[in-house]
Structure 1
Amino acid sequence: MTTVEATGFFQDAPRLRDEWEDDLALQRYLERVLPADVRADITPALAEMGLLAATELKDLADAIDTREGEPRHVPFDAWGNRVDRVEPHPGWERMAEVAARHGVIATGYERAHGPWSRVHQFALAYLYGPSSALFSCPLAMTDGAAKTLLGSGDRELIDRAVPRLTSRDPDAFWTSGQWMTERTGGSDVGRSETVAVQDGGVWRLSGTKWFTSAITSQMALTLARPEGNDAGGRGLAMFYVEVRDEDGRLNNLRVVRLKDKLGTKQLPTAELALDGTVAHLVGPPSSGTRNIAPMLTITRLWNSIIAASGTRRGLALARDYARRREAFGGHLIDNPLHQTTLAWLRVQHEASLQLAFHAALLLGREEAGEASEQERLALRLLLPVTKLLTAKQAVAAASEAIESFGGAGYVEDTHLPVLLRDAQVLPIWEGTTNVLSMDALRAIGTEETVTAYAAEVRRAAETATDDALAGVGKLAVDAVDHASAWLVRALDGGPDIIAHGARRFAVTLGRALQAALLVAQGQHDLDVHGDRRAAAVARRFADEGIDVLDEPGRTAAADAALARDEAL
């Protein structure tokens, strides 16, 4: 049989070279915020992770991102025994090993660099995440569980779990799940139907957990309602669960099925039935939604960092492809219209990076006991705003990135569609955009919180000495001042008026701080390098618009009619 060789043109695939060396935005950010000795100390670790992410881990992630690489649920063994074994791709073990050995969790808890340790940790996570085949998800929950347990004061659980959750030894390292969502609703956890019954020195949980990510983790934190407690979130308590006993048997729970999802297909996400699952109470037997807040603080920040790094990955691949792709008599990179697309992607990336890492910076300062009261107040509002905004930017950027490849961006075996499939979960996990908008309003509490947040905007904006950057800084300050005034007027209109504008309020706060931080970065790059690239990013970001607010309630009646499809 004769084999006919294909001839003619073959397009080069996009390639990654070195995710640390090629990421000028990350390097310049760290140069701006870190002391020189800290930066010098952590750079080798970041360089090693950046190279791994572009080579071995990227190849492994591509191998996992296939139909054959999706996790498998084995409910029974050959003899009919219920085993509920979940088998992810074997490459997940390597992802876990790299995360442990490189301290992607441990760095945040060793605190070798004091208040800068979280920036170091999240720089590692940022480089690792896009090539981790979604192992970043269990890492986020692991980080959140460690922080939550440390804050609980429960010495027995801390001593048992935290050393494992923060270990650098792959053989000792544990990951954690987070079992919150039930059939009654995702974000409305107060409607939980899982019941907790005290049985001697332990509790037993019964109910269904509808959506549990990373079911292969060794432990989880979850919510349940102790018998006799009131309805709603205040009647829930937080519990610690180990998934299997020392003999590997499941802890009185069944894996009902694995979820068939739009994206994050590499990640084993299960529906669980708890039937007397042994658990340990963490904290008081009520107010569980409040007690689990430290976990949400961390997982929302991870979501933001992964959003920024995912946007960076789309930009890196699109830019490399544009240098290789010949069309219409030249390379795409030289086409003025395509240049605007790549420039827009760069702006989304750098805006997301600045906001997410600013949250990491303030968190590190708070954990080291060095944050001012103003910074602590600002952080409380910054976290939901950052998660909300970076997630939306990541989805838009992923869509634009795969479009820049034309038809190749829509073909699964190019491993480009995964950029969009996996980005789409970012505005959903850890609170949807609307839920986070309301969380931002709840985080305000008093006028002092908005004042503290506005001070962060001013501090960054006022670094500008360049006229163009000062102009962007003024727009940022004007936007946050308008948001503060809007809130006062909206409060007079009542809860429905506040809720109607909550999303635009949160977006305006986020974009104001993004603009101000881009100004600070632009001024730094001008002063240190004589380079106007970051200044151009700030200007282009401002041109997109910073303030998206209108008068409180101006369109509320029309929006209600349109939503209900009623006559106006």
Structure 2
Amino acid sequence: MRVEEGFQPIPYPEDNPYTSDPVLPALLRRTLPPNAFNEIEPDLVRLGADVITTIRAMGSGNRVAPPSLIQYDQWGRRVDELETSEGWRDLKAVSQKEGLPGIFYERKYQEHSRTYGFAKMMLMVGDSHEVFCPLSMTDGTARVIELIGNKEMKEKILPRLISRDPSFAFTSGQWMTERPGGSDVSQTETTATSTGKTNPFGPQYTLNGFKWFSSATDSHISVALARTGPPTAGSRGLSLFLVPLRLPLLRSPTDPVPPSTSNNIFVHRMKNKIGTQILPTAELSLESSEAYLIGTLNQGIKNISPVLNITRLWSATASIGGLRKCLAIATAFARVRKINGQTVLLQDSPLHVSQLASINLTYRALVHLTFGVVGLLGKVECGVASEGEERRLRVLTPIAKAFAAEKACHGMEEAMTALGGAGYMEENGFGRQIRDSLVEKIWEGTTTVLALDLARAAQDPKTLNAFVSWAKDVVSSCPQALQIQMQQPLEVLNEAIVELSGSFGRPIGTLIPRPALMVTGYIASSAFLLEHAIWAYTVGDAARDTDIEVFSRWVLEGGTAAAIDDLRRAKEGTEGRVKANLAMVFGEAARAKL
């Protein structure tokens, strides 16, 4: 039989990612002022059409390829020329034109500008080949300069970081990770030495060290931590610097581009990663590289914190954006694929739809969680947040990043299996999406690192109470009739709140932070879903029954009870469990050493 003969599978048509999304339109309608929503939604509809046409085409075929590094020219001179693909450059440019990260600093919609910009990112991320990695760090660097940069930085660097003109715009990297400590920056080896000179951008230093991960190696500038105090000072001896990748940093558009090594930054090698392969990530050495102090000396951790907080929310949005695309493919496939002798569409098979509904449930919970935190960030940046909201943002930023990464990857795998063998083919994009999304469990802090960050925040009773009080207030705001209807899930949610409230006493148990993070994630996502269900019920929204069902199922079937049990086990018999863990992993001899 010729391949053209016999049964021909029907390709699945993908709908506009905004108009077909099961969560985003209603969430925006609830959280945005009517005038802002009426202006923003047409732009999102337009962008959705662009995503599945022109933007997707930019990243297709041989237009995207891993970056290549030319370290030496034919005469043996060190040149370190980094070559990126046309598709990578075009995707970065179209994102800048769409206002990422410019929307956040134009603040046309005040605190809601964050919601608007992250909605655009979520629609694009599945087809963007990780260009939002450098743009997230660009956003974070812009915020640092906005907050503590000097006058010259604000006038000359900030406008480029937030520009919509790719020919003028800068992107920024963020260099923290080094070989001794990984996420533990207290072990930073890079040193900064004052030159005694003052550059218009600030006190001038030379940096010497080795950065083991430098995502966005093709950027114009980077922010970097370097040691200005003694090694014994740990993280208290670190300062924050702005590092030009080429010198001079500012030049006329007609001037030739300076050599890649013009600021004594040398690329040791490109990272060979399992995913994010289009994104240039390298090992760099700094050999008396020129840099400018940002903010106060020896306050580097505090000064770089806006970068970390912002990039963690970009990471969370990348996780849900990847899940969005995978779920959209699985849903579209179910509308055209027939089973049972070509007599029944998958969308008419209750068993198959049950699998899709489970993925959909996770997606809804993660979108409401992430955008709930994004909304808080917008309020804080615009100075309209209450003290409680500021404290809640401190708790929820690591939660959104870690919880979304943990849950989204499993959802993507389930969406892939919903296509059977067709899902395992590279052409549909599942493979790249899953590989790329796995890094979100690592970038900007692993789940364990973020669990420890949550534990530090929760040691302040006022901060933990701000979160717990909010969750209780959401539950108590539920109308009486709805409380009766949702009695069981509300009881489980209250049980989780009570269990979490007693988890961070001093000294905190060794095994508590990670299960506590997961319980916090379930509480937060459930509370945001409940807020939406209450709104839908109160206004009589057409989807109110679905929203009530989503909240109830997420609490009862999404894993909340299991997470509570994990936290309880972590509180009980810690010493015995630690010994048993050692024996399971490293053998009985390890148990005896403890």
Question: Contact 2:496 / 2:560 at 8 angstroms: preserved in 1?
Answer: yes
CA distance in 2, matches of 1:332, 1:39: 35
Distance 1:300 1:228, change over 3 A: same
For residue 111 of structure 1, what is the aligned residue in structure 2? 107
Aligned partner (choices 465, 468, 479) of residue 485 of structure 2:
468
For residue 294 of structure 1, what is the aligned residue in structure 2? 306
For residue 276 of structure 1, what is the aligned residue in structure 2? 288
Structure 1 residue 508 corresponds to structure 2 residue 511: no
For residue 354 of structure 2, what is the aligned residue in structure 1? 340
For residue 258 of structure 2, what is the aligned residue in structure 1? 248
Superposition deviation, residue 411 in structure 1: 2.5
CA distance in 2, matches of 1:182, 1:229: 14
- My pick for the range that moved more, 541-550 or 277-286, is 541-550
Aligned partner (choices 32, 35, 41) of residue 34 of structure 1:
32
Q: Aligned letter for 1:111?
A: R
For residue 71 of structure 1, what is the aligned residue in structure 2? 67
CA distance in 2, matches of 1:207, 1:564: 39
CA distance in 1, matches of 2:209, 2:149: 27
For residue 561 of structure 1, what is the aligned residue in structure 2? 580
Aligned partner (choices 214, 225, 228) of residue 226 of structure 1:
228
1:222-276 Cα distance to aligned partner (Å, 9 max, x none): 1111265644111111110111124422320111111111111111111111111
CA distance in 1, matches of 2:495, 2:22: 29
Structure 1 residue 454 corresponds to structure 2 residue 468: yes
Q: Aligned letter for 1:214?
A: A
Q: How does 1:204-219 map to 2 (within 5 A)?
A: 204-219=206-221
Question: Contact 1:192 / 1:225 at 8 angstroms: preserved in 2?
Answer: yes
Superposition deviation, residue 445 in structure 1: 3.7
Structure 1 residue 356 corresponds to structure 2 residue 370: yes
Which consecutive residues of structure 2, in runs of 5 or more, have no partner in the other structure? Answer: 198-203, 249-256
CA distance in 2, matches of 1:461, 1:12: 46
Aligned partner (choices 537, 553, 561) of residue 540 of structure 1:
553
Structure 1 residue 141 corresponds to structure 2 residue 153: no
- State the SS of the aligned residue for 1:500: coil
- State the SS of the aligned residue for 1:222: strand
Distance 1:241 1:393, change over 3 A: same
CA distance in 2, matches of 1:469, 1:140: 39
- My pick for the range that moved more, 86-95 or 418-427, is 86-95
Which consecutive residues of structure 1, in runs of 5 or more, have no partner in the other structure? Answer: none
- My pick for the range that moved more, 227-236 or 292-301, is 227-236
- My pick for the range that moved more, 188-197 or 69-78, is 69-78
- State the SS of the aligned residue for 1:200: strand
- State the SS of the aligned residue for 2:277: coil
Superposition deviation, residue 366 in structure 1: 1.0
Question: Contact 1:164 / 1:173 at 8 angstroms: preserved in 2?
Answer: yes
Q: Percent identity?
A: 34
- State the SS of the aligned residue for 2:540: helix
Q: Aligned letter for 2:580?
A: A
For residue 58 of structure 1, what is the aligned residue in structure 2? 56
RMSD: 2.0
CA distance in 2, matches of 1:487, 1:226: 34
Aligned residues: 558
Superposition deviation, residue 373 in structure 1: 0.6
1:486-531 Cα distance to aligned partner (Å, 9 max, x none): 333xx3xx34x1x301111111111112112112222333433232
CA distance in 2, matches of 1:470, 1:171: 57
Superposition deviation, residue 78 in structure 1: 4.1
For residue 184 of structure 1, what is the aligned residue in structure 2? 180
Aligned partner (choices 138, 150, 155) of residue 151 of structure 2:
155
1:375-404 Cα distance to aligned partner (Å, 9 max, x none): 111111111111111110111111212222
- State the SS of the aligned residue for 2:511: helix
CA distance in 1, matches of 2:49, 2:568: 46
1:338-382 Cα distance to aligned partner (Å, 9 max, x none): 212101111111111011101111111111111111111111111
For residue 253 of structure 2, what is the aligned residue in structure 1? none
CA distance in 2, matches of 1:285, 1:517: 40
Structure 1 residue 426 corresponds to structure 2 residue 445: no
Distance 1:472 1:233, change over 3 A: same
Aligned partner (choices 64, 72, 88) of residue 92 of structure 1:
88
CA distance in 1, matches of 2:307, 2:530: 32
Q: TM-score, normalised by structure 1?
A: 0.94
Structure 1 residue 520 corresponds to structure 2 residue 538: no
Q: TM-score, normalised by structure 2?
A: 0.90
1:86-140 Cα distance to aligned partner (Å, 9 max, x none): 2222012221222122112111111111121111111111112222111011111
